[in-house]
Amino acid sequence: MDKFLKQAQRDMIPKMRNSGFVVSIINGTVDAKIAVELGAAILLDKPIIVAVVRGTEVPEKLRRLADSIVEVDPDNPADCVELHRAVVELVDRLPRTKPANQ
């Protein structure tokens, strides 16, 4: 576990800090990696899209804090389109910033 936490601190958190939002895939299993990623996203105040495997119950607190929740069946291309639509809608709502070189 210590190795995982060091790796998260070294790699995941800096990448998340530089990202505009987070997409988290939830399948009903409590997973330490997902828990750390969601916790970091909350602490970094990142918008969160939750892609929940169809039929999985979304915890109420996660439902309240997610910016978008999309039910998906990874084997159904139509569901992948819905997830893409949620990402596009979220990106459209993000504040625009000028590139550093302008």
1-59 pLDDT tens trace: 688 888 888 988 999 999 999 999 999 898 888 999 999 999 999 999 999 999 999 99
Residue 100 resides in a domain:
no
Q: Show the domain range for 73.
A: 2-93
Task: Tell the residue number behind the tokens 């070189």, with chain if given.
Answer: 101
Per the structure, the count of domains in the chain is 1
Residue 26: strand pairing partners: 52
Q: Are 62 and 48 in contact (CB under 8 A)?
A: no
57-76 pLDDT tens trace: 999 999 999 999 999 987 88
Residue 29 resides in a domain:
yes
Residue 75 resides in a domain:
yes
Residue 101 resides in a domain:
no
Higher per-residue confidence, 99 vs 54 = 54
Helices (H), ranges, the chain: 2-7, 13-17, 32-43, 60-65, 77-93
